[in-house]
Amino acid sequence: MAIRIFITGGTFDKEYNELTGELFFKDSHLHEMLKLGRCKINVEIRTLMMIDSLLMTDADRELIARHCETAVEEKIIITHGTDTMTDTAKMLAEKIKNKTIVITGAMIPYKFGSSDGLFNLGSALAFVQALPAGVYIAMNGKYFHAGNVRKNKQTGEFEELVKL
Amino acid sequence: MAIRIFITGGTFDKEYNELTGELFFKDSHLHEMLKLGRCKINVEIRTLMMIDSLLMTDADRELIARHCETAVEEKIIITHGTDTMTDTAKMLAEKIKNKTIVITGAMIPYKFGSSDGLFNLGSALAFVQALPAGVYIAMNGKYFHAGNVRKNKQTGEFEELVKL
Amino acid sequence: MAIRIFITGGTFDKEYNELTGELFFKDSHLHEMLKLGRCKINVEIRTLMMIDSLLMTDADRELIARHCETAVEEKIIITHGTDTMTDTAKMLAEKIKNKTIVITGAMIPYKFGSSDGLFNLGSALAFVQALPAGVYIAMNGKYFHAGNVRKNKQTGEFEELVKL
Amino acid sequence: MAIRIFITGGTFDKEYNELTGELFFKDSHLHEMLKLGRCKINVEIRTLMMIDSLLMTDADRELIARHCETAVEEKIIITHGTDTMTDTAKMLAEKIKNKTIVITGAMIPYKFGSSDGLFNLGSALAFVQALPAGVYIAMNGKYFHAGNVRKNKQTGEFEELVKL
């Protein structure tokens, strides 16, 4: 069973520029992370964009949706900034019905040592294999249904809108 | 949904004794790892033993089985040394039919920086939530059914006996 | 031989705020770093300020100088942002003649895993013990005399103005 | 000023073999560590052996001494297992009078995340530049004169025999 991973950027892949002291995107760390996890799943990785999710436009989301639709894989993971991943999830849930799509991200860049990224990637890969068709967010060790989840800005945690 | 985690030791929790140069068990790193993963699942953690799985006896496995049976939770994760986790899985599958049990471990101790432990824990937590009742091993980003999995001693990877 | 360490902030001690995505100062990591280095030197640590060195004012530098003068220790380390540490070194060299003062910092925050901070701290502690009275900068494994050093903005490296 | 670094093995360079669960030597991490420290000193690195210092023979020590004598550099660092580095220091001090030689090591392998190796390397590089001719051990942030130092087996710390 092949799994498609689409990379869109977000905290996950940010790095520290030691000359300017700013955070920036260089390359994705997905390959490195999968290697660290000794992951032997057949995955196809493609970078769609490398942006902060606060800067993601409707056109960007259209692009993501189109790639999800046309991918031959029925199981898709999207790495995404946490600030607007619930928006992308909701949009995708309206358009795509017959695939299992799991969106995940990180609160701390993978390169910063104390990141939740590796944990989240492990959980997203497991959820996408085991959950039925639908669009989900995988954060905090949990999965949430698209449309029934928000990021709590005070705590940084993801919460259900309506308890299922 | 509460999840029970039983700790039995294994590479996962080994540390380096800087006075003797030997590997040993002190405390489990599970709490630290769940915190790193910003995991907000309701988990109950209990250490059953802290041993190398090559030293695990039939009596030890009986103890694990009894704890799985009597636990009020229907979803159980067991952290376990990789060398004999397939044996424990097989034994548990014969005894326990109505719970989802996921056994996981690590090839490199969590404390050694390059560990697969955090990735495996994320995947085990996701699998235990999403898979139906049964006994599974979660390694290499995959899940395997008890009785249909072996550890390849040459590569260190887990493989299905019969392709499903 | 007691060594005084004055903390002023800089990249060294920056952390990532996972709620805002910004870098900020919380506490110094000096104690943690000294413990990691199994450092058994008798050190007295005091935080004078926690600022980005681009924001350091003349008044701040006066404060640092006064503390260096009044400290009972003859060997002093100052952790400092790299952008203006050469300015602080020059000012201190004009005022303080009879002590060994070593200024160091980091290009990457200690908490980000790939930091030069621990290496620089080890070198600063060694230089302050072994060099004669004077004001020095310890970066890139080297020591530089105050007044004869600049930070190359293109490479991030420290260089002598005049080869000694 | 060029510095010669001789590698002899020791905990410093040990790695974890995930197939056997044993510690072993592969390659030295010196280049990686110097890069992490943004070290810009002109160093020449040569691996003389890769052994546990408890296994170091008189012939091995002869080899180290000969390399120290014939090296064109007057400043030499030796990475060495901590268990017998005081023996090697004493032997070298009897043979070599006109060079600054600093022996260092680590209590925890560099690859294990919590290592003192990077701190010790930074301090050894600084001591070798700033100390007069002689043979020294650099551990715990301190330097010790060859012949006046022992490793305390209970604490893992290095101590002077006679307080200087």
pLDDT for D50-107, tens place per residue?
999 999 999 999 999 999 999 999 999 999 999 999 999 999 999 999 999 999 999 9
The one-character DSSP state at B97 is: -
Inform me whether the pLDDT recorded for D45 exceeds 90. yes
Torsion on CA atoms A105, A107, A110, A115, rounded to nearest 10: -120
Q: What is the predicted pLDDT for the residue at A118?
A: 97
Q: What is the predicted pLDDT for the residue at B133?
A: 98
CA-to-CA separations, A76 to A11, C48, D42, in angstroms, rounded? 20, 51, 49
Q: Which residues partner with D44 through β-bridges?
A: D4
- D41 and C141 within 8 Å at the Cβ level: the answer is yes
Query: Could you give the angle at the alpha carbon of C56 between the alpha carbons of C53 and C61, nearest 5°?
Result: 115
How far from the centroid of its chain's Cα atoms is residue C160's Cα?
18
Question: Under a CB-based contact definition with an 8 Å cutoff, are residues B75 and B82 in contact?
Answer: no
Provide the shortest C-alpha distance from residue C18 to chain A (in Å): 5
HEC assignment per residue over A30-64: HHHHHHHCCCCCCEEEEEEEEECHHHCCHHHHHHH
The one-character DSSP state at B132 is: P
pLDDT for B99-124, tens place per residue?
999 999 999 999 998 899 999 999 99
pLDDT for A103-152, tens place per residue?
999 999 999 988 999 999 999 999 999 999 999 999 999 999 999 999 99
Among D83, D122, D117, which residue's Cα sits nearest to residue D13? Answer: D117
Interface check for C32 against chain D (CB to CB < 8 A): the answer is no
Q: What is the predicted pLDDT for the residue at D1?
A: 66
Q: What does pLDDT average to over chain A?
A: 96
Interface check for C132 against chain A (CB to CB < 8 A): the answer is no
Q: How far apart are CA D123 and CA D106, in angstroms?
A: 12
pLDDT for B3-45, tens place per residue?
999 999 999 899 999 999 999 999 999 999 999 999 999 999 9
Alpha helices in chain B (DSSP H): 30-36, 58-70, 85-95, 117-130
Q: Which residues partner with C103 through β-bridges?
A: C78, C137
- D111 and B113 within 8 Å at the Cβ level: the answer is yes
Inform me whether the pLDDT recorded for C16 exceeds 70. yes
- B38 and A126 within 8 Å at the Cβ level: the answer is no
- D119 and C121 within 8 Å at the Cβ level: the answer is yes
Of B119, B131, B140, the CB nearest to A130: B131
Q: Helix B58-70 vs helix B85-95: angle between axes, to the nearest 10 degrees?
A: 50
pLDDT for B46-68, tens place per residue?
999 999 999 999 999 999 999 99
Q: What is the predicted pLDDT for the residue at B1?
A: 66
Beta strands in D52-106 (DSSP E): 75-79, 100-104
pLDDT for C85-128, tens place per residue?
999 999 999 999 999 999 999 999 999 988 999 999 999 999 99
Q: Which of residues 88-127 of D touch C (CB under 8 A)?
A: 107, 114-116, 118-127
Please report which helix (H) or strand (E) contains residue D4, including its range: strand D3-9
First to last CA, chain B: 29
Q: What is the predicted pLDDT for the residue at C1?
A: 66
CA-to-CA separations, D3 to A45, A48, D74, D164, in angstroms, rounded? 45, 47, 7, 27
Provide the shortest C-alpha distance from residue D141 to chain C (in Å): 5
Provide the shortest C-alpha distance from residue A71 to chain B (in Å): 21
How many beta-carbon pairs below 8 A join chains B and D? 35
**Which chain B residues are Cβ-neighbours of A124 within 8 angstroms?**
126
Q: How far apart are CA D57 and CA D51, in angstroms?
A: 10
Question: Under a CB-based contact definition with an 8 Å cutoff, are residues C158 and C151 in contact?
Answer: yes
Q: Which two tokens stand for residue D5?
A: 């670094």
Q: Which residues partner with D32 through β-bridges?
A: none
Interface check for A134 against chain B (CB to CB < 8 A): the answer is no
Q: How confident is the model at residue A28 (pLDDT cuts 50, 70, 90)?
A: very high
* pTM given for the model: 0.95
Question: Under a CB-based contact definition with an 8 Å cutoff, are residues A121 and B122 in contact?
Answer: yes
pLDDT for D126-150, tens place per residue?
999 999 999 999 999 999 999 999 9
pLDDT for A66-75, tens place per residue?
999 999 999 9
CA atoms within 13 A on the CB side of A71: 27
**Which chain A residues are Cβ-neighbours of C81 within 8 angstroms?**
none
Among C87, C63, C151, C93, which residue's Cα sits nearest to residue A19? Answer: C151
What b/e sequence results for A29-59 when a residue is b if at least 16 CB atoms lie within 10 Å of its CB, and e otherwise?
A: bbeebbebbbbebebeeebbebbbbeebeee
- A18 and C153 within 8 Å at the Cβ level: the answer is no
Question: Under a CB-based contact definition with an 8 Å cutoff, are residues A152 and B33 in contact?
Answer: no
Provide the shortest C-alpha distance from residue D39 to chain C (in Å): 4
Interface check for C20 against chain A (CB to CB < 8 A): the answer is no
Query: Cβ atoms within 10 A of the Cβ of D62, count?
Result: 12
